[in-house]
Structure 1
Amino acid sequence: MVFFAFALAIVLLAIVITLLLRRQLSEKYATLWLIISVLVLILAIFPGLLDGLTAVLGVQVPSNLLFSLAIVLLLGVGLHLSWELSRAEDELRRVAEEAAIARSRIDRLEDRLRRLDGPTDSADAEPGPDADHD
């Protein structure tokens, strides 16, 4: 069991570092996963720490403490990601609204420019709305 925890921690560290170096994982998330990996590695190297922590906290079985900590951690990560997603959605909506406003202004300016230019040569004129566009 100790070997499995040690191997898991090493694999997790390698994955996080690889994703971080490839810029596929931001630093703020990498920090969290690096801390988790190091904690798993410490518990794998010193399994007695979990027994001592279990005794201090009054939990009867070390695996119950480990699973409880994992559940709390996953709830925290899920809540944080939901918060980040909400912020990203708000930002995306704001940018989309600004882009729509800018597009509307550009269209109005183009219309005004066409009216100011007046009629032009048929060779220089832009194609009408019924023209075939590529």
Structure 2
Amino acid sequence: MIVPVGIAFALVILAIIVVLLMRRHLREKYAVMWLLIGAAMLVLAFFPDLLSGLAGLLGVLVPANLFFALAVALLTGVTLHLSWELSRAEEEIRRVAEEVAILRAEVDDLRANNSGDRSD
């Protein structure tokens, strides 16, 4: 019973990723990562013994522990990457806001000089 549920879950995740990508709600650079994750989920759903084999190869006694350790590592990596992207975006927003403020001040100066020239 668990294998068909895992397969269905992986297919739903892949479908959601494709829909988000087609609607341009998800950028391509993130979609690749999520498609790889969805594909890995699908492979593990079709072949659950792969996780047991990998756990035995790495010396992990319980395959579920390996799965959760991999999930924690993946989520940590995703969180770190998104924090880095957010920091870059905040810096860019600050820079653009400063440029807009400078340009707005220059426009105000030009308007003030223009209205002063007309009153003469």
TM-score bracket, shorter-length normalisation: over 0.9
The alignment status of 1:78 with 2:76, answered yes or no, reads: no
When you count helix as a share of all residues, which structure comes out higher? 2
CA distance in 1, matches of 2:4, 2:67: 17
SS in 2 for 1:77: helix
CA distance in 1, matches of 2:66, 2:8: 21
Q: Percent identity?
A: 55
Question: Which residue does the alignment assign to 2:17?
Answer: 16
Measure how far apart 1:48 and its partner are. 1.4
Residues 94-127 of structure 1 deviation map (CA, whole Å, 9 limit, x = unaligned) = 00000000000000001111111225xxxxxxxx
Question: Which residue does the alignment assign to 2:28?
Answer: 27
Question: Which residue does the alignment assign to 2:57?
Answer: 56
Question: Which residue does the alignment assign to 1:36?
Answer: 37
Amino acid of the residue matched to residue 77 of structure 1?
A: V
Measure how far apart 1:54 and its partner are. 0.6
CA distance in 2, matches of 1:32, 1:43: 17
CA distance in 2, matches of 1:90, 1:3: 46
CA distance in 2, matches of 1:53, 1:46: 12
Report the TM-score, using the length of structure 2 for normalisation: 0.96
Q: How many residues align?
A: 119
Structure 2 residue runs of 5 or longer lacking an equivalent are none
The alignment status of 1:108 with 2:109, answered yes or no, reads: yes
Amino acid of the residue matched to residue 58 of structure 1?
A: G
CA distance in 2, matches of 1:110, 1:65: 66
Residues 13-43 of structure 1 deviation map (CA, whole Å, 9 limit, x = unaligned) = 0000000000000001111100000000001
The alignment status of 1:98 with 2:99, answered yes or no, reads: yes
Measure how far apart 1:46 and its partner are. 1.1
SS in 2 for 1:23: coil
Question: Which residue does the alignment assign to 2:3?
Answer: 2
Pairwise CA RMSD: 0.8
